[in-house]
Chain A
Amino acid sequence: MQQSVAHFEIAYTQFLDEAGRTVQGFPEGLRDPATLRALYEVMVRTRTFDKKAIALQRTGQLGTFASSLGQEAIGAGVGAAMRPEDVLLPSYRDYAAQFSRGVTMTEVLLYWGGDERGMDYEKPRRDFPICVPVASHTCHAAGVAFAMKYRGEARVAVSILGDGATSKGDFYEAMNAAGVWCLPVVFVVNNNQWAISVSRRAQTAAETLAQKAIAAGIPGEQVDGNDVVAVRERVGVAIERARAGQGASLVECLSYRLGDHTTADDASRYRDPAEVEAAGRRDPIERLRGYLLRAGHWSTADEERLLAHAAAEVDLAVTGYLALPALPPESMFEHLYASLPQSLEEQRRAVAAASDA
């Protein structure tokens, strides 16, 4: 005889559908128009920044850049759900979350512009820098969460990773440990359907990425990642659950990478343009704008003001970025160790002398 010994299901949450219509009443805390407008503004500022960054790259003023086009709702929702004292461990496509936490546009430009100072965030001092080796930062998040719990602090670590990153063992190891120790950490998956040229279906036979949490003994769920209300609400619930000592969870946000993987990629080599076009109709920004306009919480004048403000903000950031001269070559010896070992002095002096000459 066989019996069933474990049961699970994966919930999916959406508040605003593709057309910007409410499919269910907004949760408490997201009914205030000012809250929705704030989420909308972060997304628009991020997109304005994104477009400018690509333009800078195309004109040789910025290195390779990873666009977050179409996925702004994930970062905006995550950023709004976090408290300042929490710690964000981002991937390389999470500008909306980083901006919400006070990372500056100049800092992000410096990073992609080849300058380490772009990771020395002035504001969220404890946030981790962008993580390039995918999924490796999920283990750091477990450690950060452990430290918070160890000291009895009501803080939470939040790590964002991609759909491709969920295939890494690091991610499973981190979730597994977070489950064992009931750590205050939330893993947010930006399922943008592509890992460079590898599609979500080629990545795993699992029906959802959220269900990967089940094997680690933590809750996993899906949300419409282009519905900022759903992201803000469900990630918020996960964060507050962690803060209350109830442990880790995973939120898979369904979205779509509307742009190339990075400026060094050409997605037309592997993607059907019809798919991209269809995904464009699920755009998170237009969706919320449509809702706000219809609800009377937004006007074309508001829109113009926001766009002008965002453009000015981005221009200022670009000016700041371009105006900052590179560090002297010998700076590569700075912050290598707390104090430079004697054995490296000679190399440092040689570099300094060469740069003076």
Chain B
Amino acid sequence: MPELTLIEAVNRALVHEMAADPSVVVLGEDVGVNGGVFRATAGLAQRFGAERVLDTPLSETLIAGMAIGMAAEGLRPVAEIQFMGFIYPALDQLLNHATRLRNRTRGRLTCPLVLRTPHGGGIHAPEHHSESTEALFTHIPGLRVLIPSSPARAYGLLLAAIRDPDPVLFLEPTRLYRMVREVVEDDGSALPLDTCFVLREGPDVTLVSWGAMLHETLAAADALSEHGIGCEVIDVATLKPLDIDTILGSVMKTGRLVIIHEAGRSGGLGAEIAAQIGERGLLSLQAPIERVTGYDTIMPLYRLEKAYLPDVARIAAAVKKTLEFQ
């Protein structure tokens, strides 16, 4: 079985769905002959033709808006926004239209589109190429927001996203694109949506994260296990709608919760998770919930990005804090 990087897994999922379903079309800037700036769409135009793999004009509003029109007319567009820093013109289309069309028309018109975009920092990228603003989108009713943390989950979740009858924002952790290889069976099986994945079981503390940060989270769990601390590690994967039940179940077992995300702290998705655990699991908690996050600052240019991003030491310190709480 092939070992794939995350970006290759994205590519395989696209190829699989395009081969299986002629209504799947790909659009975005440089996605055609160039195969996308990260090569997510490499080979698609050559294999499926330029009429199914559209190099769009440099028009983010159009990319999202056009995908809505395509989806309402029965296609399954998979649109790429080249970098998350340029997604904001499309926010209007997502918020005002894509997520509302089904509701407004009482199910008459629907919007099965996927908007893919690279997410997060840590790759020494230029300005505007490293932010993680998922919480802007998890606030939007009617949207699904997904973020894989491994090649296999990228493959399975992207298939699920394309097949889903509603709009999906699919965030791809840029830092993971080529960081790890993993065996991915290209058999067309999708992973379930709206559910967290428990990556590792452990009795002492629950670590909740998503996207690239899971790698620091898992490394912290490894380091802590050498000190006899057993961490349960949860990959949220579907950021919206949020599967709080899995997180709550884990917290009821461990009594401690540390949430790790690279986005800024205030109003981040970690705040929502903490609030819901506070509402529903307060009496299970043996220590205050800890958050290890980016800061409420502008994402610095890359000389300082390491200082912004949570790392193993910060995660481990937060875990110890929950364990030492009296």
Contacts and interface: CB of A to CB of B under 8 A. Distances in A.
A273 B48 CA distance: 60
Interface stretch (B13-21, B204-212, B242-250): B242-250
Nearest to B64: A139
Contacts of A133: 92, 96-97
Contacts, number: 145
A146 B66 contact: yes
B97 A140 contact: yes
B71 interface: yes
Given A126-B73, A338-B165, A341-B241, A180 B57 contact: yes
Contacts of A335: 102-103, 105-107
B287 interface: no
Contacts of B69: 89, 139-147, 157
A343 B64 contact: no
A142 B72 contact: no
A291 to B, nearest CB: 38
B70 A144 contact: yes
A150 B51 contact: yes
B105 A120 contact: yes
Given A335-B107, A336-B142, A147 B165 contact: no
B188 interface: no
B294 to A, nearest CB: 25
A338 B102 contact: yes
Interface stretch (A36-44, A166-174, A279-287): A166-174
A189 B106 CA distance: 28
Interface residues of B, number: 48
Contacts of B51: 150
A349 interface: no
A121 B61 CA distance: 27
A342 B102 CA distance: 18
Contacts of A180: 57
A76 interface: no
A272 B243 CA distance: 59
Nearest to A87: B73
Nearest to B67: A143
A145 B244 CA distance: 41
Given A126-B73, A139-B93, A143-B72, A177 B106 contact: no
B62 A173 contact: yes
A49 B66 CA distance: 33
A65 interface: no
A142 B108 contact: no
Nearest to A174: B62
A144 B102 contact: no
B75 A150 contact: yes
B323 interface: no
B103 A144 contact: no
Contact of B108 (A125, A141, A177, A342): A125
Contacts of B102: 335-338
A148 B165 CA distance: 20
A146 B53 CA distance: 12
A277 B30 CA distance: 53
Chain A CB count within 10 A is highest, among B25, B57, B105, B166, for B105
A116 interface: yes
B65 interface: yes
A321 interface: no
Interface size class of A (residues with CB under 8 A): 35 or more
Interface string A133-170: 10011111111111110100000010000000000011
Interface in A70-107: 87, 89
Nearest to B241: A341
Contact of A338 (B57, B105, B166): B166
A177 B63 CA distance: 10
Given A126-B109, A148-B73, A176-B59, A143 B65 contact: yes
Nearest to B97: A136
A58 interface: no
B254 interface: no
A128 B72 contact: yes
A49 B71 CA distance: 33
Interface string B87-109: 00100110011000011111111
A225 interface: no
A119 interface: yes
A173 B59 contact: yes
A117 interface: yes
B203 interface: no
Nearest to A147: B73
B66 A341 contact: no
Given A146-B66, A148-B73, A119 B106 contact: yes
A219 interface: no
A144 B111 CA distance: 12
A117 B61 CA distance: 28
B73 to A, nearest CB: 4
A34 B160 CA distance: 54
B25 A150 contact: yes
B133 interface: no
A57 B268 CA distance: 42
Interface in B208-254: 241-245
A142 B64 CA distance: 11
A212 B59 CA distance: 17
A336 B103 CA distance: 5
- Most chain B CB within a 10 A radius of its CB, from A144, A180, A181: A144
B61 A120 contact: no
Contacts of B267: none
A177 B57 contact: yes
B34 interface: no
B162 to A, nearest CB: 14
25 contacts: A120-B107, A120-B108, A126-B72, A126-B73, A136-B92, A136-B93, A138-B65, A139-B68, A143-B66, A143-B67, A143-B70, A143-B72, A144-B73, A145-B69, A147-B70, A147-B73, A173-B65, A174-B62, A176-B59, A177-B57, A335-B106, A338-B165, A338-B166, A343-B241, A343-B242
Given A140-B97, A335-B105, 14 more contacts: A87-B73, A116-B104, A116-B106, A119-B104, A119-B105, A133-B92, A138-B65, A139-B65, A144-B72, A334-B106, A334-B107, A335-B103, A336-B103, A338-B110
